[in-house]
Structure 1
Amino acid sequence: MQKELLTALHTQRSKLVLKIENSRFMIGKEEFAPFSAEMHYFRVNKRYWSYCFERIRKAGFRIVCTAIPWNLHESPPGSFDFTGNSDSRKDLVVFLELAREFGLKVIIKPGPYIDSQWHNGGYPDYIFEMQEVLARDAQGNLIPLSANGNSGARKPSLGHPRFKSQVKKYFNNLAEVIKNYAFPKGPIFALQLDHQSEGDLGPFAADYNLDSVRGPYSLFLQKKYQDLKLVKSVYKEKWKSFEEALPPKELLVKNPADLVKYFDWLEFKEEWTEKYLQSLKETLQENEISIIFFSNWSGHEEILPQVSQAVLESDQIRSTGVARWNDDFWLLERQLKYWGGGNFPWITEFYCGNSSSNPAEHRKYFPVTPAATKFLYTLALSSGVKAFNFHMFVERDHWYDAALGLDGSIQPNYEMITRLMQLNDRVPVNQLQSTARVGLALYRPYLWYRRLSTKYPFDYFDDLQRIFSGVSRDLSYLKIDYQVLDLEGSNFENCDLIFVPSAEFMSQAVQEKIVNLIKFGKKVILFGQVPVWGPDFKKCVVLSKFLKIKSVSDRQVAEVEDKQRCFLAHLLGYLKKSGKGSKEIMWHQNKCVATRTASGKGVGYFFSFDFTSHKNPVKLLFLEELFKENKIYPAGTTSELEVDLKIQKFDNSYVLYLFNPTGSFWNPKPENKKDVIVKLDTKRLGLKGSIKLLELVNGETIKTSANELASGLNFSLGEFDSRIYLIGK
Structure 2
Amino acid sequence: MIEIKEKQIWIDGSPQIIMCGEIHYYRLDRGDWQDRINKLKQAGCNAVAAYVPWICHEPVEGELDVTGKTRPELDIGGFIDLCKENGLYFFVRPGPFIMAEMKNEGIPFWVYKKHPEIIPVTWDGRDIQTMTIDYLAPSFLQETRKWYEKIMSVIEPRLIQNEGNVIAVQLDNEIGMLSWVSNSPDLTDQLIDHFCQYLENRYSNEELNLRYPFSLAFSKERNEQIRSPKEAYSAELMKDLGYYMRHRFSQYVATLRNYAEEFGVKDIPFVVNIHGTSGGRGFTYPIGISQLYESYTQDEGYLSGSDIYFGDLNMTTFQDLYLINGFMDAVHREEQPLTSVEFNCGDGNFGSTYSDRYDPSAVDFKIRMCIAQGNRLINYYLFTGGRNYRMDQELKDGNDRIAFTGERHGFAAPVSPEGELNYTYGRMARVTKTVMASSEKLAEMVEEHDGVSFGFIPDYYMTESFHPNSGRMKEIIKNLEDYRSGGGWEIMARAMLLAGYRFGSSDIQNKSIDPETTPVLVLPSAAYMAAAVQQKLARFVQDGGGLLIYGEVPSMDMEGQHCSILADALGAELLENVKEEQHYYLSVVAKGWAAPRPEVRAYRAQTYRLSGGEPILTVYGTNEVCGFETNAGRGKAIVIGSSYSCDIPLFTEALERLGASASLIHDFKDHGIFMTSTINKADERFYHLLNLDGFDKELHLYQNGEALFGGKTLLLQSKDGLMLPVNMMLKNGMKILYSTAEIKEIKDAAVEFRLTQKEDVIVFEGTPELLPSSDFAVVQEGNQTIITSKKHAKVDDHLEVKTVPGSNMIDHQRNAAVQKN
Contact kept, 8 Å, 2:524 with 2:551, in 1: the verdict is yes
| Residue in structure 2 matched with residue 220 of structure 1 by the alignment | 198
Hey, what's the Cα distance between the residues in 2 that align with 1:649 and 1:208? Answer: 43
- In structure 2, do the counterparts of structure 1 residues 240 and 134 end up closer, same or farther at CA, with 3 Å as the change threshold? closer
Q: Work out which of the residue numbers 270, 286, 301 in structure 1 matches 2:262.
A: 286
CA-CA distance at 1:217 after TM superposition? 0.8
Question: What do the CA deviations read for 1:359-398 (whole angstroms, capped 9, x no partner)?
Answer: xx34x44345543321332233344434211222233242
Q: Work out which of the residue numbers 645, 648, 652 in structure 1 matches 2:677.
A: 648
| Residue in structure 2 matched with residue 425 of structure 1 by the alignment | 437
- Which SS does the other structure have where 1:400 is aligned? coil
Aligned positions of 1:677-716 closer than 5 A: 677-684=698-705, 687=708, 689=710, 692-695=739-742, 698-701=754-757, 702-703=759-760
Hey, what's the Cα distance between the residues in 2 that align with 1:115 and 1:354? Answer: 21
| Residue in structure 2 matched with residue 448 of structure 1 by the alignment | 462
Contact kept, 8 Å, 1:638 with 1:676, in 2: the verdict is no
- In structure 2, do the counterparts of structure 1 residues 554 and 717 end up closer, same or farther at CA, with 3 Å as the change threshold? farther
Aligned positions of 1:44-443 closer than 5 A: 44-129=28-113, 130-145=115-130, 154-185=131-162, 186-199=164-177, 201-202=179-180, 205-227=183-205, 229-239=206-216, 245-246=222-223, 248-250=226-228, 252-253=230-231, 258-290=234-266, 291-300=268-277, 301-304=283-286, 305-309=289-293, 312-316=296-300, 317-326=302-311, 328-329=316-317, 330-339=319-328, 343-353=336-346, 358=351, 361-362=352-353, 364-368=354-358, 370-397=360-387, 398-405=409-416, 412-423=423-434, 424-426=436-438, 428-430=441-443, 431-443=445-457
Q: Work out which of the residue numbers 486, 496, 501 in structure 2 matches 1:480.
A: 501
Hey, what's the Cα distance between the residues in 2 that align with 1:627 and 1:170? Answer: 54
- In structure 2, do the counterparts of structure 1 residues 419 and 22 end up closer, same or farther at CA, with 3 Å as the change threshold? farther
- In structure 2, do the counterparts of structure 1 residues 463 and 166 end up closer, same or farther at CA, with 3 Å as the change threshold? closer
CA-CA distance at 1:654 after TM superposition? 4.6
Question: What do the CA deviations read for 1:482-508 (whole angstroms, capped 9, x no partner)?
Answer: 334433245567644322233344233
* TM-score computed with the length of structure 1 as normaliser: 0.81
Paired AA for residue 373 in structure 1: V
Kindly indicate whether residue 488 of structure 2 is the aligned counterpart of residue 468 of structure 1.
Answer: yes
| Residue in structure 2 matched with residue 628 of structure 1 by the alignment | 656
Judge which range, 509-518 or 51-60, deviates more: 51-60
| Residue in structure 1 matched with residue 778 of structure 2 by the alignment | none
Question: What do the CA deviations read for 1:306-342 (whole angstroms, capped 9, x no partner)?
Answer: 4353552123332210122335414344334434665
- In structure 2, do the counterparts of structure 1 residues 587 and 354 end up closer, same or farther at CA, with 3 Å as the change threshold? same
- In structure 2, do the counterparts of structure 1 residues 676 and 638 end up closer, same or farther at CA, with 3 Å as the change threshold? farther
Paired AA for residue 618 in structure 2: W
- In structure 2, do the counterparts of structure 1 residues 29 and 472 end up closer, same or farther at CA, with 3 Å as the change threshold? closer
- In structure 2, do the counterparts of structure 1 residues 203 and 538 end up closer, same or farther at CA, with 3 Å as the change threshold? farther
Contact kept, 8 Å, 2:348 with 2:357, in 1: the verdict is no
RMSD: 3.5
Q: Work out which of the residue numbers 625, 632, 645 in structure 2 matches 1:592.
A: 625
Hey, what's the Cα distance between the residues in 2 that align with 1:320 and 1:416? Answer: 23
CA-CA distance at 1:690 after TM superposition? 6.2
Q: Work out which of the residue numbers 528, 531, 546 in structure 2 matches 1:523.
A: 546
Contact kept, 8 Å, 1:45 with 1:406, in 2: the verdict is no
- Which SS does the other structure have where 1:114 is aligned? coil
CA-CA distance at 1:82 after TM superposition? 0.9
Hey, what's the Cα distance between the residues in 2 that align with 1:704 and 1:637? Answer: 19
- In structure 2, do the counterparts of structure 1 residues 518 and 303 end up closer, same or farther at CA, with 3 Å as the change threshold? farther
Structure 2: unaligned runs, 5 residues or longer: 278-282, 388-408, 580-585, 713-738, 745-753, 764-791, 795-821
Structure 1: unaligned runs, 5 residues or longer: 1-16, 146-153, 663-672, 707-715, 719-729
Contact kept, 8 Å, 2:342 with 2:379, in 1: the verdict is yes
Paired AA for residue 702 in structure 2: D
| Residue in structure 1 matched with residue 566 of structure 2 by the alignment | 543
Hey, what's the Cα distance between the residues in 1 that align with 2:357 and 2:217? Answer: 61
Q: Work out which of the residue numbers 609, 612, 632 in structure 2 matches 1:576.
A: 609
| Residue in structure 1 matched with residue 19 of structure 2 by the alignment | 35
Hey, what's the Cα distance between the residues in 2 that align with 1:541 and 1:717? Answer: 58
Hey, what's the Cα distance between the residues in 2 that align with 1:311 and 1:480? Answer: 32
CA-CA distance at 1:188 after TM superposition? 1.7
Paired AA for residue 466 in structure 1: G
| Residue in structure 1 matched with residue 781 of structure 2 by the alignment | none
Hey, what's the Cα distance between the residues in 1 that align with 2:709 and 2:696? Answer: 25
Question: What do the CA deviations read for 1:266-321 (whole angstroms, capped 9, x no partner)?
Answer: 22222222221221111111222112101111234143224353552123332210
* TM-score computed with the length of structure 2 as normaliser: 0.73
- In structure 2, do the counterparts of structure 1 residues 381 and 545 end up closer, same or farther at CA, with 3 Å as the change threshold? same
Paired AA for residue 468 in structure 1: G
Hey, what's the Cα distance between the residues in 1 that align with 2:91 and 2:290? Answer: 23
Question: What do the CA deviations read for 1:412-463 (whole angstroms, capped 9, x no partner)?
Answer: 5444333323323247222142334432222122223586485536864454
CA-CA distance at 1:87 after TM superposition? 1.7
- In structure 2, do the counterparts of structure 1 residues 365 and 467 end up closer, same or farther at CA, with 3 Å as the change threshold? closer
- Which SS does the other structure have where 2:90 is aligned? strand
Contact kept, 8 Å, 2:98 with 2:106, in 1: the verdict is yes
- In structure 2, do the counterparts of structure 1 residues 485 and 311 end up closer, same or farther at CA, with 3 Å as the change threshold? farther
Give aligned pairs, total.
662
Paired AA for residue 335 in structure 1: I
- Which SS does the other structure have where 2:645 is aligned? coil
Contact kept, 8 Å, 2:274 with 2:306, in 1: the verdict is yes
| Residue in structure 2 matched with residue 725 of structure 1 by the alignment | none
Hey, what's the Cα distance between the residues in 2 that align with 1:366 and 1:323? Answer: 17
- Which SS does the other structure have where 1:613 is aligned? coil
Contact kept, 8 Å, 1:303 with 1:338, in 2: the verdict is no
Hey, what's the Cα distance between the residues in 2 that align with 1:533 and 1:249? Answer: 26
